[in-house]
Amino acid sequence: MMSSIFSKIIAGEIPGRFVWKDEKCVAFMDIMPASHGHLLVVPREEIDRWTDLPPELAAHLFAVAHKISQALDQAFDKDRVALMIAGFDVPHTHIHLFPADSMAEYDPANALKNLSTEELDADAATVRAALRSLGHDEFVPEA
């Protein structure tokens, strides 16, 4: 089986804008974001369907998603942080987190496709700063 694109990002074979790294999962910016701050929480272990995750890993992913969502809520001026698991595009479980004022904002057809690398880098830096301000320094990588 070939490695998923997420496994390649985690391994450093493909660049990623990481905002969180721990022994079980990572979080990095989505390259076709629905909104500024849109990111993915991804287990290091390549498991296609989220329903196949061991319960302990699923709980860990959601605990990390909760912490990152608090940082996104602090960092971006939106009504709330949406969470979604679709599981169709990449055969590697991932949780989408994105600041939004409504679910209508999550439409892949309207993704911020023209976001520059500088804007993606700035969003990642904003999220990392918010995570540090919430006391999660040990999990927040340098750029």
Ordered structural domains, the chain, with CATH? 5-134 (3.30.428.10)
Using a pLDDT cut of 90, give the percent of the chain over it: 81
Give 46's pLDDT tier (boundaries 50, 70, 90): very high
Please, what's the b/e burial string for 118-136 (b: 16 or more CB within 10 A of its CB; e: otherwise)?
Answer: eebeebbebbbebbeeeeb
Specify the pTM.
0.91
* Band of residue 37 on the pLDDT scale cut at 50, 70, 90: very high
What amino acid positions are annotated as catalytic residues? 94
